[in-house]
Amino acid sequence: MAVGSTTAMKRSLSEHADYEIVPEDAWDLLYEWYGGGPPIKRRAIREAQGGVMVELFGLSLKAYRSSDMNGFPKEIIESKYATIRELKERLCEEMELDARDVRIWDYFDNKPFASLEEDLDGYLHDKRIMDNNPILLEERDANGEFTFVKDMQTSSQAAAVTSSGSGYYSSYNSYSSADVPMVGEPIQRGAVGLQNLGNTCFMNSSIQCLSNIPQLREYFLDLDKERLNRTAHKTQGKLAESFADLLKMMWRENTAKVAPRNFKYQVGQFAEQFSGYGQQDSMELIEYVLDGLKEDCNSVQGPKPYIELKEADGRPDEEVAREALAAYRQRNSSRVDDLFVGLFKSVVRCPEKECGRVSVTFDPFLSAKLSLTSTAEQRQTSFTLLLVRDSVKGYQQVKVRVNKEASVKELIQAAADEVGEGLEASKCILVEVWNKKVHQFIEENTCVDSIRAEDHLLLSEVSDATAFHVTNEQRARWGASGSSYSMSETEPPLPGEPTPSSSSSFGAVLNHRKASNSNSVWSSFDHLGVPILLAIRKAATMREMYAQVRRYMKQTLDIQVAPEAWRIVRCEKYSARDGTLIDAESDELLDLKGSREYFAIEWMEETSIPSLLHQDPFRHTSEEVSDGDVDLTHLLQLFVQDERLGTTDAWYCSRCKEHREAYKQLQFHHCPPVLVIQLKRFQYNRWSRERLNTSVSFPLEGLDLRPFCTASSKESFESPPIYDLAALSKHIGSLGGGHYVAFCRSSEDGSWYHFDDGSVRKCSEQEVSADKVRITVDFTKNRGAKHGSLTCSVSWIWRTAADLDLDPVCIASPTQACMLASMLRQRACVPMRTLQAARSKTTLIMGPPGGGKGTISKKLIKDFDFHHISSGDMLRSQALRCSLQTLQHMRERERERERER
């Protein structure tokens, strides 16, 4: 972008994936070294709760003049932390108006909703001015009076009908912080739409689910605000107050739709992840709201008493459960707790026979999170490899399943075992293909957990696999190249990689491409087909190389074309577009002493290109396949069965004084009136997430939890834990986006309703039960009433840093990884180890262990100050904050080395 030019930033940008935030001094250094720009500056704002927020986009506002309502509005971008006075003065200046002759209004839904004049020093955010909010500048008339708004308010309701024509939003003469109702007749009491305020469909879906749980709704409709807990951490009773106000608005007569402006504001005040306009997870919001509501309604106010939790130590379950529940209620006592909180019985057994320790505890829960696979299945991952053999024509797909902690060497062995037929794992090379070129070699000591499910993996059988091992000469050349960081296969090898053998061959990587000009080696090409990997004698002549490639194409690819149809070009670099022509008629030696040498097979004419090279054999390996169908009862069975803990979540045995991979079992003991069930539909590894396409069938009535409860609790049931479905939150679309809707059963008439933001319609039970895929379910007890309650939501489960099963020095985004690796290399430091391609969501950067010569010491890495915050359970880096002193020191070291040269 040229300096001085302006453009709008995409609203879909994501920090760490698309951009990084750095201090101004760090930017100045980066600009000095690399150039670029112009800089995009944003304010860092300290929020009320103590956090620091960088406002990337600001509010997009449209300002109207009362004297020219038919003209185009003035469009501006303003900070939500600007004051009303600042906004008014800016608009008056740009629209050439005298601020003394203007009154400013919140023109929500194109109506003078509220006057902003009463608090000109208030922030836009605090006045609930949101993105795309219209603003009205009311001007004095010819008599010096403000009459425009007064005339609008006294006009007929028809003048205020919304674009939908179904009603109109009520407004107030002075500013109101409440949610905004639309007057109209709903299709059923409570079946009220919620306006999308900008990517808030997840919030609307969550609200509808909670609103249609009768016991919860009735409590908040009659809420005594005087008894709210004003000492609650963060929320101070305001979340419960705003939730009650919203429900009253949704369930009163003559309300067809509500804009939940105040509720969104209150949620964003106390939970920063919900303060913006990005898509969030509805289940996360449901859990946050329930947790905040029970704190706001907690009768235990002020500092909570400390209560030491005790294990069973052989005591009866009922005694220990009563003790745990009593301890919980000494700190938490509210109607929300009574409705939603249950008890799990947790039994953990030490696996050491000599120890035999058993820990029994009873733990409270707000929701049950069900996995779609067993623990053993969760620890495995599957891959589809494209196999090309030296002596077998065509490509073969090989599907293998291995442990997530397995190495690539084990993956290759599993593939060889699956194929059989004399395939030797020791003669196979695994590479990732991207854009029809070899993107990277995947070394045998790499953990398969770092490979993404959607990667195109080529397993190539070669005559001599050691020919592709990196030589010391290449290692030295790459380390001193000073080139910027790249995750191509020309990246220097990692410590621990196989050392080169005394192989008499080199590894040739040949990518097919069509030249744009057949008479010379041009710099623009279209790549074709699947790359070829061959082990070629180092002492081979150019003519012999052509013969070997020709023989391979005939025997393996069944390609037979005239010699003049193609030629071989040696590429000095992986990314080089030009190259040196290899003469097919020359007996000159290739004289290549390294490994992983790169060539291109150039096809001279379109008509000469074999049809095989126009096909995409990887297409079928990445096609989405359903993981089958399961019943909710089966998932509950998986939930309560014994599981073996892994190394990342090992249990500390107080008797052994060590962490053990213990056996653990959870069972329901106390079942709450309202049961929230969340389906964990996504599996996560170190670098990516995988969606499980399992269809889950569930009952609309009669979900019986008795088979999944403890034996002691079955004897003491006041009423059996049998549940009916009340509501579900459904996500439609992809992992990174999509849309949320809700299905809820009305307690007014027992019918099901479909809620899609502001749109509400009645639907059938078949439509609800047909929506099996990608939902999560919550239930409430059926105590003889015709309809109980169940809430459903999509599951987004994040793993913490501990799940990386590595010693993390720091966690950074791909951009950070590339930037730091580039800095370290260009400052004459040794390469930094990076464990995944730059396209991945999160990159773990580590220094090789030990420090000292030839490695990066941990002390040096610690000079880079990374800040991490938790979003849900996912640890992510907040911003890149490089130590200027360290960067300057590296710069000085480079200059010293240049002087020494």
* Percent of the chain topping pLDDT 70: 70
pLDDT tens per residue across span 212-245: 999 999 999 999 988 998 887 778 899 999 999 9
CB atoms within 10 A of CB 702: 11
Q: How many CA atoms lie within 13 A of 673 on its CB side?
A: 14
Strand ranges for 295-340 from DSSP E: none
Can you say whether residue 613 is alpha, beta or left, with left for phi > 0 and alpha for psi between -120 and 50 degrees?
A: alpha
Out of 430-444, 503-517, 631-645, pick the least confident. 503-517
Q: Is the pLDDT of residue 755 over 90?
A: yes
pLDDT digits (tens, 9 = 90+) for 717-754: 777 899 999 999 888 766 556 788 999 999 999 999 99
**Would the pLDDT of 363 be above 80?**
yes
Q: With a cut of 90, say whether residue 775 has pLDDT above it.
A: no
> What is the mean predicted confidence (pLDDT) over 841-861?
30
Residue 16: both structure tokens together: 């760490």
Q: What is the pLDDT of residue 869?
A: 24
436: left (phi over 0), alpha (psi -120 to 50) or beta: left
DSSP 8-state code for residue 710: -
Are residues 786 and 275 in contact, defined by beta-carbon separation less than 8 angstroms?
A: no
Q: What is the DSSP string of 778-832?
A: EEEE-SSSS----EEE-------GGGG-S--SEEE-HHHHHHHHHHHHHTTPPPP
* More confident of the two residues 427 and 5: 427
Give the lowest-confidence range in 533-542, 674-683, 789-798. Answer: 789-798
Report the chain's terminal Cα–Cα distance, integer Å. Answer: 38
H or E segment to which residue 310 belongs? none
**What are the residues whose beta carbons fall under 8 Å from the beta carbon of 586, sequence distance 6 or more?**
541, 542, 543
Q: What pLDDT, on the 0 to 100 scale, is given for residue 377?
A: 58
pLDDT in tens, 549-586: 999 988 888 888 888 889 999 886 554 456 788 999 99
Structure tokens at 755: 């809620």
State residue 796's pLDDT score: 19
How does pLDDT run across 815-844, given as a tens digit for each residue?
343 344 334 333 322 222 322 222 222 222
What pTM, to 2 d.p., does this model score? 0.62
Neighbouring C-beta atoms of residue 204, cutoff 10 Å: 26
Per-residue pLDDT of 645-669, as tens digits, reads 877 788 999 999 999 989 999 999 9
CB 125 within 8 A of CB 80: yes
Mean pLDDT value of segment 587-606: 84
Q: Output DSSP code: residue 607.
A: G
Residue-averaged pLDDT of the chain: 75
Question: Closest Cα to residue 359, out of 77, 664, 66?
Answer: 664
Residue 319: which residues within 8 A CB-CB, separation 6 or more? none
Examine the pLDDT at 350 and tell me if it is beyond 60.
yes
Task: List own/partner pairs for 558-562 with CB under 8 A and 24 or more apart.
Answer: 558/393, 558/394, 558/612, 559/610, 559/612, 561/608, 561/610, 562/608
pLDDT digits (tens, 9 = 90+) for 276-307: 666 678 888 999 999 999 999 999 888 888 88
Q: Which long-range contacts (CB under 8 A, 24 or more apart) does 9-15 make?
A: 9/40, 9/56, 9/57, 11/57, 11/277, 13/56, 15/56, 15/813, 15/879
Residue 365 CA, distance from chain mean position: 25
Domains of the chain and CATH, by start? 52-176 (3.10.20.90), 367-374+626-658+671-793 (3.90.70.10), 378-490+498-622 (3.10.20.90), 801-900 (no CATH)
Find where tokens 């070009």 sit.
569
Q: How far is CA 116 from CA 121, 168, 872, in A?
A: 10, 21, 36
SS3 call for 77: strand
Q: What is the DSSP letter of 19?
A: B
pLDDT reading at 112 higher than 80: yes
542 DSSP assignment: H
Tokens of 128: 């609930």
What pLDDT was estimated at residue 404? 79
Dihedral (CA of 87, 92, 98, 102) sign = negative
CA distance 742 to 102: 44
Tell me the mean pLDDT in the region 622-626: 47
Residue 290's pLDDT is 94
Handedness of CA 518, 524, 526, 531 (dihedral sign): positive
**CA dist 173 → 117, 149, 152, 607 (Å):** 11, 9, 12, 76
Interacting residues of 11 by C-beta distance below 8 A, sequence separation 6+: 57, 277
- What does the pLDDT read at residue 870? 26
Name the residue among 850, 869, 848 with its Cα closest to residue 801: 869
